Structure 1
Amino acid sequence: MMISVFHVLSLSLWPLMMSGAVLISFISLYLSMKVGFNMLLLVVILVMLNWFKDVSRESDLMMEHSFLSVVFFKTGMILFITSEVMFFVSFFWCYFDFVLAVDFELGGVWPPKGIQSINPFSIPLLNTLILLSSGVLITWTHFSILNNDWFYSVVTLFGTLVLGIYFLCIQFQEYMDATYTFMSSGYGSIFFLATGFHGFHVLLGCALISGSLYRMVTLKMDALSHYNFEFSAWYWHFVDVVWLFLFIFIYWWGY
């Protein structure tokens, strides 16, 4: 039972396990995925799901999330997205350094000689339309929640999830068809790093949407209390905007 306007966190191993799994995952990624990166990524997802389950129990069963707690949650989410923005700014900074000061070892041109860049008006344009459509759907979901329209809330959020998964499948196919690799000069490195980490964020966004969809289907969300969905929507719009910058500068400008 809530006895304070503040939410006092109970002891939990999930933050420690998440930090350790993410750290080891990035180390294994640095080592060319030779020490079980996929398995560690699965651990990250499982920890995230169990952490989400505990937070849901605190909210639904223990009633520990006061109005002030929700304000703090929203502030934390805004700060988290801001840190993610800075993360992608570093990639674009690196990319512009390559483009605006081309090394003569790369042939003095961008893309470097020998690199056949992907046509931006093929798969990248399709992916852009998919993500923009998903952004429209998740906005429709929010509108439906505010109007207590359960049916359209579920349908549009499920549609957003399907489009997100479809985006990842097409992105994977694009990687398979690419004529260059991560080791193909600076172009290949920055291309796969920027688009790959964006794909990882889309995957994380799909996980957040899945959690919101579960709460929606089990009737644990209404027009007055749906901040967990709001977090998912904010994050999804963030990955939408990042993709627009990737499409314009890396795909289109770099073509």
Structure 2
Amino acid sequence: SMALTSHGYLGNNYMIIMCAMTMLYSMTLWFKDMMAESTYLGNHTLAVKKGLMQGFLLFVVSEMLIFASLFWAYLHSALNPSVELGMQWPPAGMEAMSAAELPLLNTMMLLASGVTITFAHHALINGNRKNTLYGFLYSTLLMIMFVGCQMLEYKFASFTMSDSVYGSTFFSATGLHGLHMMMLAMMLTMCTWRVYNYDFTN
């Protein structure tokens, strides 16, 4: 994983590369099918629309459950620290990451990307192609900057994934969120490309 690789563990780069290649290949095939059906055939069939809606709903529900379990693990350990943790949170001898530094910058980038993607959405509805392109482009750049800052955060963290429940819940939750941001950046890149090529204008 990215967290282990940033702390110098050997052999993890191969797994990251294999997983990234598999994901990129799957996304490429999915984007190709979606563009062919919606752009060149004119519209999705009712079965495809229903499948997309059900798939999106299932995705949202599964994401809610995954993140709820990660936050539950974190809060359970924080509110009821065990003897092994030194009866304190963060655990004894562990330096917590300051929320007023890089995490604050990441939060501001996420909020700014929410503003720019909303701007792009409204511009698309109003038929303003130029502002749609700018909104998608800025959102994509903010997502890429977020992932880069998260990699820096992992690189300079004073703890690793193997440092008690604090490290494992921190890297699991933020790593999963970072993965979502990488996938979103790829999807926004595809949307930007499609707007640029006049694939959709409203």
Q: TM-score, normalised by structure 1?
A: 0.71
Counterpart for residue 192 of structure 2: 213
Which amino acid in the other structure matches residue 200 of structure 1? L
Q: Distance in 1 between matches of 2:13 and 2:98?
A: 32
Question: Is it true that 1:84 corresponds to 2:63 in the alignment?
Answer: yes
Residue number among 140, 152, 168 corresponding to 1:173 in the alignment:
152
Residue number among 217, 222, 225 corresponding to 2:201 in the alignment:
222
Which amino acid in the other structure matches residue 35 of structure 2? S
- Deviation digits for residues 45-93 of structure 1 (CA, Å, limit 9, x no counterpart): 1221122112211222234514674355234313312211111111011
Change (3 A) 1:68 1:145: farther
Counterpart for residue 149 of structure 1: 128
Alignment of 1:179-218 (within 5 A): 179-218=158-197
Alignment of 1:1-255 (within 5 A): 33=12, 36-63=15-42, 65-66=44-45, 69-70=48-49, 72-223=51-202
Q: Distance in 1 between matches of 2:16 and 2:155?
A: 19
Change (3 A) 1:101 1:66: same
- Deviation digits for residues 4-44 of structure 1 (CA, Å, limit 9, x no counterpart): xxxxxxxxxxxxxxxxxxxxx9xxx9xx7375332222221
Q: Distance in 1 between matches of 2:16 and 2:121?
A: 35
Change (3 A) 1:34 1:140: closer
Q: Distance in 2 between matches of 1:153 and 1:67?
A: 28
Q: Distance in 1 between matches of 2:70 and 2:47?
A: 36
Structure 2: 5+ residue stretches without partners = 6-10
SS in 1 for 2:200: coil
Q: Aligned Cα RMSD in Å?
A: 2.1
Which amino acid in the other structure matches residue 160 of structure 1? S
Change (3 A) 1:71 1:146: farther
What is the CA-CA distance between 1:105 and the residue it aligns to? 1.1
Q: Distance in 1 between matches of 2:156 and 2:188?
A: 29
Q: Distance in 2 between matches of 1:68 and 1:39?
A: 33
SS in 2 for 1:160: helix
- Deviation digits for residues 221-248 of structure 1 (CA, Å, limit 9, x no counterpart): 122xxxxxxxxxxxxxxxxxxxxxxxxx
Change (3 A) 1:49 1:199: same
SS in 2 for 1:37: helix
SS in 1 for 2:12: coil
Q: Looking at both structures, which has the greater relative contact order when contacts are Cα pairs under 8 Å and sequence separation is at least 6? A: 2
Q: Distance in 2 between matches of 1:180 and 1:168?
A: 19
Change (3 A) 1:69 1:51: closer
